[in-house]
Homo-oligomer: A and B are copies of this chain.
Amino acid sequence: MSGMNRRRITSKELAKLAGVSSATISRAFSPDSRIGSATRDRILAVAREHGYQPNAIARSLNNQRSRLVALVVNAIGNPCEAEEQQLLVHRLQARQLLPIILCCADHSDRLQLMRLASTYQVDHVVVFSDMVSMQDAVDIFHTTKPIIVSFEPLESENVSSIRIDGSKAADEIIEKIVRDGKKRFAYLSGTNSSWIDKLRRKWFADALAKRGLSFEAQAFGDYSYDSGFKEAVLLLHRDKVDAIICGNDVMAIGARDAARRVLGRNTPDDIAIVGQDGIAMAAWDCNDLTTLSLDHTAFIDAVVELIERHDAEIEGPHSITLTCTPRWGSTA
């Protein structure tokens, strides 16, 4: 058992050792199948002795179920996604499902990678990335109904999706900032082309419009601390804004630092800064960020819910909508 047995023992070999047929071996490892309990115990004992475990690859081929799940994500390190990834991975593993992470720097590679994963007959696909269009996902995984975490307003027979609505939370946040006397708002985007970014911006833009205001300036970063820092310097210095809504929490922290270190402005008196995502780090004492936050647990619950519906083969399009809430800190 210990040490290095290069070759793995097969069910046929184990069958010989236990004096039964390989079919009986298989039955011993299938929870509810017709087999004498004495035989099963004997087989399991011999199996343990020789370190036998059924080969999941062969089983998948036969079953037409791999118990693999493809997770398409933008990045692993990004804290906002990471918290959700972590939760989802735990939930999957509790169901004996193994996650394959697909994560790529550039876009054409990403599609290539998705094609590769699709050849592994994954049972489910969860797309967290706004870099992947619904159509691409459906085309590539044409036998596996993908679950899309999406802001796209597209309903399709072949996709289940989770929508996120932050309009009410954005309204509450803008209400507070306006009441505090801020007048010149800027939006700091994470990207210049994603659906997610456009929709998030719209939540806040609508809230401003309701009060006869609009964004005086807009900048584009890349969701990183450094880009938040750099763009905020420009927005404050050149555009003289006194409130910055950021595309995510990490950029908001960068912006807050820029205001404080480069221009000597403090939140929330001189300037208001708002993040989005509600990552754990935003609540750290040193950050204490006001942020439009999503309940990560509810979010992952929704993903798991959709996976279970797929497993139960319930037909038809499925869509779940979640709403965000403000998390109040000392930056706005």
Name A281's contact: one of B4, B55, B225 (CB within 8 Å): B225
B121:A55 contact, CB within 8 angstroms? yes
Tally of A interface residues using CB under 8 Å: 69
Complex interface bits, A2-14 against B, C-beta within 8 A gives 1, otherwise 0: 1111111000000
Judge whether A234 is part of the interface by a CB distance below 8 angstroms. Answer: no
- Interface centre among A96, A100, A120, by most B CB within 10 Å? A120
Name A53's contact: one of B1, B115, B145 (CB within 8 Å): B115
Given contacts A79-B77, A281-B225, contact A142 B51 (CB under 8 A): yes
Binds B, one of A18-26, A58-66, A319-327: A58-66
B4:A142 contact, CB within 8 angstroms? yes
Across-interface contacts of A83 in B (CB, < 8 A): 77
Judge whether A157 is part of the interface by a CB distance below 8 angstroms. Answer: yes
- A residues 156-195 in Cβ contact with B at 8 Å: 157-158
B120:A56 contact, CB within 8 angstroms? yes
Judge whether A54 is part of the interface by a CB distance below 8 angstroms. Answer: yes
CB distance from A112 to the nearest CB of B (A): 9
A143:B5 contact, CB within 8 angstroms? yes
In the complex, the count of this chain's copies comes to: 2
Q: List 9 A-B contacts (CB under 8 A).
A: A5-B143, A53-B118, A57-B66, A57-B120, A57-B121, A77-B83, A77-B85, A93-B109, A229-B285
Known: A4-B138, A57-B61, A93-B113. 13 other contacts (CB 8 A): A3-B142, A3-B158, A8-B142, A8-B143, A55-B121, A57-B66, A68-B100, A76-B76, A82-B82, A90-B104, A98-B116, A225-B281, A253-B286
Q: Which residues of A contact B (CB under 8 A)?
A: 1-8, 51, 53-58, 60-61, 66, 68, 75-77, 79, 82-83, 85-86, 89-90, 93, 96, 98-105, 109, 113, 115-121, 135, 138-139, 142-143, 145, 157-158, 225, 229, 253-254, 256-258, 261, 280-281, 284-286
Nearest first, the 9 A-B pairs at minimum CB distance are A56-B119, A77-B82, A76-B86, A257-B286, A56-B120, A4-B158, A77-B86, A257-B285, A53-B119
